[in-house]
Structure 1
Amino acid sequence: MWAVFQIITVPLILLKVSFLVDVVVYSMFLIGIIVYGIVKKTYCSMTIPKVEPSAWVGIIVMLATGIYMIVQSFRLQLTNADDTRFVVNAVDTVRTNRMLLTDVNTGKEILSWTGDLFKDVISPWAVFAAYLSKITGISAASMMHTFLPPVLLAVMMCIFWLVAGELFDKHIYRALFVILLLVMYMYGYFSIYNAETFTIIRLWQGKATMAAVGIPALLYAFLRLYRLLPDDRRWKEKTVYNAEQKGAICMVWLTVFAVALLTSMSYILSTVMIGCFGFVYGIAKKSLRTAIMVWGTCLVNIAYLGISTLLH
């Protein structure tokens, strides 16, 4: 969802197209995907997994801890000077149908981007919040401060569970892993700038979403790809991917696009992770092709950073 929005929206922002065009194009794509999934029956039915009785205790505690964290985050959402960038950009986009073409300090329309807007053009998280506001009728400020944080925290917990699934076989260990992470997040307020604090009090900001959702999602994509690749191949053997492995590689590419939407910091953070994991894949899996496929995702970051540089 984020990856497609990033791919569609950035060119439209550069062309200075009306926000309504972005809303229509992206909504049509979502409707098309839903219809295709229903017709082709590519969806999966949700079922309760079979787990050992003792694991249910851990899962219940995990869910209770997660709900408590969401309630506390709902009470502690921060409103400060950063609203003049992120929230004002979203509110202005809905109000004027201009995407990032308003000076947030004066409220006047601008013909070209200046200052922090150079970063927002290639990471239009505020425009995504404006899109959610537009289709739901909820004000952009309420969307970012009230509705998005609980949803994003729930998404973060789901990603933690997926990561745990790559690390542990038993559900009780997965639940304990997620509980440990949630406790660390809830009691990690040792600085106003660390990831735990940002997650609890200002998850509506793109950089906080990157720390809470983006980096764990990248980690899961890399771990899943690592698990699916064979361990017993030799350097001279030709690397051939099956359908599941190709899907895992596509997931890595889409995740890089998705985190690019959140913040311009993602271009540095994801590149570091890509470089490290690509090196590990190449050595551990004895596959230069796989390493190149992973490193190739850096082209996404290079392209967007190049656009931002040219705009300057």
Structure 2
Amino acid sequence: MLQKALGCLFVFGIAPVGIGGLWTKGIGQKREKILNLYLAGFLSELAVFQLIAVPVMVKEVYGMNLLVYLTTAVFAVLAATGFIWTLLRERGLWKQDRQKQHVAVQNPERLLFWLLFLASVGYQMYMAFAYASFDGDDAYYVVQSVLADQTGVLNRIRPYTGLSTDLDIRHALATLPLWIAYVARMTGIHATIVAHTLLPLIFIPLTYYVFVQIGRKLFSDGSVKLPIFLTLVSIMQIWGNISIYTNETFFLTRTWQGKSVLANLILLVELWLMLELCAREKNKERQEETGSQLTYWLLLTVNHIAAAMMTSMGAFLTAMLLGITALVAAIRYRCWSILWKTALCCIPNVIYLALLLVL
């Protein structure tokens, strides 16, 4: 029980919060909201794992122990660095914030819709936890996680038969199943339970938080429109199971699968970051008021690495989405520097796609 608590605390608490501290004063104004930093830290955690897991998996057949040791050490160093960085950067702002505290007056109608939205998110998390659904893809992806955790072999056992096989590059370079195995090894929780029960409690609220960030860009007047938008989105998610292929079906019944995380979290983060960058190009806002654009470009790069972790198509889709948007933005705002910044952000995508051809 103690291992489960400490493992979950490290993987889903200390590591993402600490790594998120490295983004302090980069995303937004003078001090960023803790949830923004958590989101940035969690995406960074996934990207770092991808960078470690791919070479370990290619070089070591029985590499699970090495992967766990390396990943934990890197997470611990990055988290400690982030906490120290945040402490040094934020120490001078605590006194200022205490002097400027005030109580905001909440619109009753706005408060009602916020409560409805939070209630619907809580309901979805409860249903995902209490009524975990089975999917046919579990026979491949979840079994890969179980095999990596219990045998220490990285993607060299065929899940359907249990026989040895060569490295399946098409699936192996998307290392989300190995990350699930890492979480299982760190927490002592069976990998199947991690996938079906634990991960929905992380991915569902994170996805809705990205919706909140997108809503704030679309409805920036602080009116009741934002909670209404979020409430409608949550209702559509609950009632969107009109076929097995809809985005909503994947979101709530196949939450732990890489293609679901790509469609429901990674691409949403991509959209949010592009909205942030386009808003800054449009308004020419000063960096000291809104944070440096460099941080958003770096976070886009991190998001691309995390996309490659989810599915082999993730690197291609995020690069294509960013490239098309950047071209339109460059023409619209007559800012051609967007194009070379986009090209730099897509370097991890190109390297990943080249690995698919070479290995």
Equivalent residue for 1:34? 79
Are 1:128 and 2:182 counterparts?
Answer: no
Counterpart of 2:356 in structure 1 is 308
Q: Is the 8 A contact 1:10 1:122 kept in 2?
A: yes
Q: Which residue of 2 aligns with 1:199?
A: 251
Q: How many residues align?
A: 299
Change (3 A) 1:147 1:171: farther
Q: 1:48: Cα distance to partner? A: 10
**Would you say the 8 A contact 2:298–2:345 is kept in 1?**
no
Would you say 1:172 and 2:214 are equivalent positions?
Answer: no
Q: Which has the higher helix share?
A: 2
| Equivalent residue number for residue 258 of structure 1 | 306
Conservation of the 8 A alpha-carbon contact between 2:148 and 2:154: yes
> Where does 1:97-246 land on structure 2 (aligned, <5 Å)?
97-110=152-165, 112-113=166-167, 117-169=168-220, 170=222, 172-231=224-283, 244-246=292-294
Deviation at 1:154, TM superposition (A): 1.0
Q: Does structure 2 conserve the Cα–Cα contact (< 8 Å) formed by 1:221 and 1:255?
A: no
Segments of 5+ residues of structure 1 without an aligned counterpart are 234-241
The answer to whether residue 52 in structure 2 is matched with residue 52 in structure 1 is: no
Spell out, residue by residue over 1:169-218, the C-alpha distance to the aligned partner (whole angstroms, 9 max, x if none): 21632211111111111111111111111111111111111111111111
Structure 1 residue 145: deviation in Å?
A: 0.8
Q: What is the alpha-carbon root mean square deviation over aligned residues?
A: 2.4
Contact 2:135 2:254 in 1 (8 A): no
Match of residue 12 from structure 1: 56
Aligned CA distance change for structure 1 residues 286 and 142 (closer, same or farther; 3 Å) = same
Quick one: which amino acid aligns to residue 5 of structure 1? F
Letter in 2 for 1:64: A
Q: Which sits farther off after the overlay, 215-224 or 124-133?
A: 215-224
Partner Cα distance (2:208, 2:291) in 1: 28
Shift in alpha-carbon separation, 1:182–1:41, aligned structure 2, 3 A: same
Distance 1:171 1:88 in 2: 47
CA separation of 1:63 and 1:299: change in aligned 2, threshold 3 A = same
Whole-Å Cα distance in 2 between the matches of residues 39 and 299 of structure 1?
Answer: 30
List per-residue Cα deviations over 1:99-153 (Å, max 9, x = no partner): 111111221333x22xxx3222221110010111111110001100111112211
Segments of 5+ residues of structure 2 without an aligned counterpart are: 1-44
Aligned to 1:61: 116
Q: Distance in 1 between matches of 2:356 and 2:102?
A: 46
Equivalent residue for 1:88?
143
TM-aligned CA distance change 1:254 to 1:262, over 3 Å = same
Q: Distance in 2 between matches of 1:99 and 1:229?
A: 45
Once the two structures are overlaid, the 10-residue window that deviates more, 164-173 or 150-159, is: 164-173
Q: Deviations over 1:213-246 (max 9, x none)?
A: 111111111111222335469xxxxxxxx96111
Range that drifts further, 300-309 or 178-187: 300-309
Asked if 1 retains the 8 angstrom alpha-carbon contact of 2:145 and 2:178, the reply is yes
Deviation of 1:164 after TM superposition, in Å, equals 1.1
Quote the offset at 1:76 in angstroms.
4.5
Distance 1:199 1:243 in 2: 32
Distance 1:97 1:189 in 2: 37
In 1: Cα distance, 2:64 partner to 2:273 partner: 32
Given that 2:319 and 2:346 are in contact with CA atoms closer than 8 Å, whether structure 1 keeps it comes out as yes
Q: Deviations over 1:268-289 (max 9, x none)?
A: 3212211221112211232222
CA contact (8 A) 1:229 1:245 kept: no
Q: CA deviation at 1:295?
A: 3.4
- Return closer, same or farther for 1:258/1:35 CA change in 2, 3 Å cut-off: same
Q: Is the 8 A contact 2:213 2:272 kept in 1?
A: yes
User: Structure 1 stretch 125-134 or stretch 164-173: which is displaced more?
Assistant: 164-173
The residue type paired with residue 14 of structure 1 is: V
| Aligned mates of 2:273, 2:51 — CA distance in 1 | 19
Give the % identical residues: 23
Provide the rounded CA distance (Å) in 1 between the counterparts of 2:193 and 2:154. 19
Q: Secondary structure at the match of 2:292?
A: helix
- Is the 2:282–2:333 Cα contact (8 Å) retained in structure 1? yes
Contact 2:305 2:315 in 1 (8 A): no
Q: CA deviation at 1:75?
A: 4.5
Residue of structure 1 equivalent to 2:46: 2
